[in-house]
Amino acid sequence: MSSPLDQVLSRFALTQSLPEELPVDPFPTFVEWYTHAVTHKIQPNPNAMTLCTVDPDGGPSSRIVLCRNIDAARGVIHFYTNYTSRKSKAMLAHPRVSLQFHWDTLDRQVRIEGLSQQASAAQSDAYFAARPWESRLGAWSSDQSQPITGRQALIDKVRWAIEHLKLDPAEIIAKGNAVHIPRPPHWGGWNITAERVELWLGGTGRVHDRAVWTRAIVQTGETVHWTEWARTRLQP
């Protein structure tokens, strides 16, 4: 029979934990968690992540955006947005940002800090072409974060986009997502190159399992370089 002390300590055993010897690279584990959350649809938007930026005047701002791709080999996360939006202006002024994924039902959290960089036109074009036609029209219709008089005024801007692009409404209905709608120049991707990644697993009594990986990021013009990952466990 186990001792009272053993019984107490057993309450802190984890049903899931990071390996005792931490992996050299955090991204395979991150991708495994992300893929599980997306595949099992554990919440309506399992690819949702909080993006935190610093405005040109130094004020903080956060919002939910959707992760669209993870380049595990390079440690880069991709998302897409309006380049005239508040977040894009913030990233142009202060490229360092933070991201957070939280899968509450899985008791898992991933925190990422890194360097933001605009995606290439080719990358943005490829993703834009794969979007539903409604989303492509919406990108033309919205001056994101700017005031507007009402909902009808926004719908009128959709009408304007159809006319501006010389689209045939009947062709849109007939072809659906196959209809060609070009990417607007004010819309595209952002790539976040991670320099700090924390993996978190919830535990009984708040005795969680945490570990952090860090590396140095150096940007020279359009080129980003990085060092090898350093890793350590953290107390909860």
With H, G, I as helix, E, B as strand and everything else as coil, classify residue 148.
Answer: coil
Angstrom CA distances, 190 to 18, 48, 78, 154, 193, stand at: 30, 15, 6, 25, 10
The token pair at 129 is 């072409």
Helix (H), strand (E) at residue 71: strand 69-71
Token pair recorded at residue 6:
């053993």
Residue among 211, 230, 233, 227 at smallest CA distance from 111 = 211
**Known catalytic residues?**
206
Residue 218, beta-bridge partner list: 225
Helix axes 133-141 and 151-164, enclosed angle (nearest 10) = 100
